[in-house]
A and B are shown apart, each in its own frame.
Chain A
Amino acid sequence: MTYDVVALVRKDPDMRALIDAMVEAGPELRVRGAGGGAVVQLRDDDGTPLVSIEAAQRVDVPGEVERLLGAETAACMPDPCWWVEVRASRGTDGTAAGVDTAGLAHRFADGLVGSLGGTVWSAHPRPTARRRDARDERNEDAR
């Protein structure tokens, strides 16, 4: 199953903001376009996609946030608002190629909201005691 995260941000996320958030999420990862340019992926050295990030869309219909993400998220959404969909690839063990991809998706969304303002929605409550693995440790060291 995948793990979906949506960043609802207050400013149009330009390339600079996206790259900053990607670097913050996983500095050693590779960035690659996919899906005809509508999607950017973070991949590991072997090319395995870990997180896919969809082009930001401006939210001109606020009812869509409540309909698809729930009333609680709609109550916290910024105005104006841009919708950035982030999808973490996960195998049955909750990782992709040994990486905690849900944690990676959250770090990216948090980075974006940190610089642009807004709120983060995720398909499940954010993992609090995240399982850490070797690659994650390296991420922390690299910062």
Chain B
Amino acid sequence: MTIHPAVDLATDRTVLVYQDRPVVPLSSWLADAMATFAEEGRGLQVVTPAASRLTFPLRSLLSRPQARWVVAEPDGSGGHYDGLTGTRLVWDDTAGYVPAAAPEAPAAPVGGTAPSDLSPAFLQRPAALGAHLIIDVTAVHPATDELLLGAVAEALARAFTGADPGGWGTSEPALNVWDRAALTATCRRRAPQPTWFAFVGPGGGTRPCIGTQRVSRVTSGVKEKVTFAVAYAEDEPPALHRLEDTVGDLAHRGVLRTLTAHRLPGRPDLTYEPRTPSAATPVGLALGPGAVTEAGMDHVLESPVSGHLMGRREQPAVWFPFGDGTTPESRQAFTRLMRHLGAEGPPTV
């Protein structure tokens, strides 16, 4: 009980944190516990009741290897299941909660798991689902004294909500007013260590959006790896048409490496319930100028999926839209493009 203030239970390979609240955020306690135990190679499991929902940053964290969202069965049986996949879990004295069928095996993809392996509580459909649009951007800036980080986050928030981010923080709640100079100063102070932070929409009736960002030093400069999520109500189509302009905007700035966009069914408030697997469908992918050059412009343009040249004429980015993500064609287009670009997918930094 005394190893870390956030930790409730520890095994040889895993630490467990119990969180019983309606919306579970990536609190500073969880962020700190994760950092402490990642160094030791220990995994992190967050245990919640079935009524709890996770924020996007915590859900992203618990999607990583060596992390798990453990949900207590609501039937009072004392059983547990995986909040992201629905797989039934059992207790293991060394590893914490592990899949019931094959202990220690990585979680099977949902499509390949027999329904009997899944908790019935997980399969209950949630009430009203809208759509989440998830956009991953990697950008690399020259490492100069004038560099001001946060431009990608700002461009995404403006394009999809019409407003700048309202706040940022190294954990949730993100209580600092959005201030690119302040967050740049934080990243500089921590360099060469990477810095992670969350940024949130201003709230108060604006469209819910949230993002996470990792800033790190790479040989070619300073890398911003941004994941941005924006929510739409049940009867609203996601603003996929804004993706192309966003790619153009980031390409013009000369910092875009890659952008990928997915959509998935999700709650309009941008939180996640431990119910019903919601597979993300790719809706578009962009290669920035550097990535296009590395793959070879001719090769990129010979792709079976038609791409649009964006940004600067002499060093363009290429944007590949895959449709609206509601039909199998979107995923097929993504798969064809990946096969063409090579097994490793789009080049990353």
Binding site for B on A (CB under 8 A): 1-4, 34-36, 38-39, 41, 47-49, 52, 54, 57-70, 83, 85, 87, 89, 123-124
Contact = CB atoms under 8 A, between A and B. Distances in A.
**Nearest 6 CB-CB pairs, A to B?**
A63-B203, A61-B167, A64-B173, A123-B21, A1-B20, A60-B177
Contacts of A63: 166-167, 200-204
In this complex, which of B1, B47, B201 has the most chain A Cβ atoms within 10 angstroms of its Cβ?
Answer: B1
B315 interface: no
A2 B8 contact: yes
Nearest to B27: A85
Nearest to B25: A68
Chain B interface main SS type = loop
9 contacts: A34-B5, A35-B29, A49-B5, A58-B175, A61-B203, A63-B203, A64-B200, A87-B6, A123-B20
A52 B27 contact: no
A54 B28 contact: yes
A61 B175 CA distance: 5
Given A61-B203, A64-B173, A89-B8, 19 more contacts: A4-B21, A35-B4, A35-B29, A39-B5, A52-B5, A58-B175, A59-B175, A60-B167, A62-B204, A64-B174, A64-B203, A66-B203, A66-B204, A67-B200, A68-B25, A68-B55, A68-B173, A70-B23, A83-B175
B230 to A, nearest CB: 14
Interface residues of B, number: 34
A64 B22 contact: no
A23 B78 CA distance: 38
Contacts of B172: 64, 68
Contacts of B201: 63
A28 to B, nearest CB: 20
B22 A49 contact: no
A2 B19 contact: yes
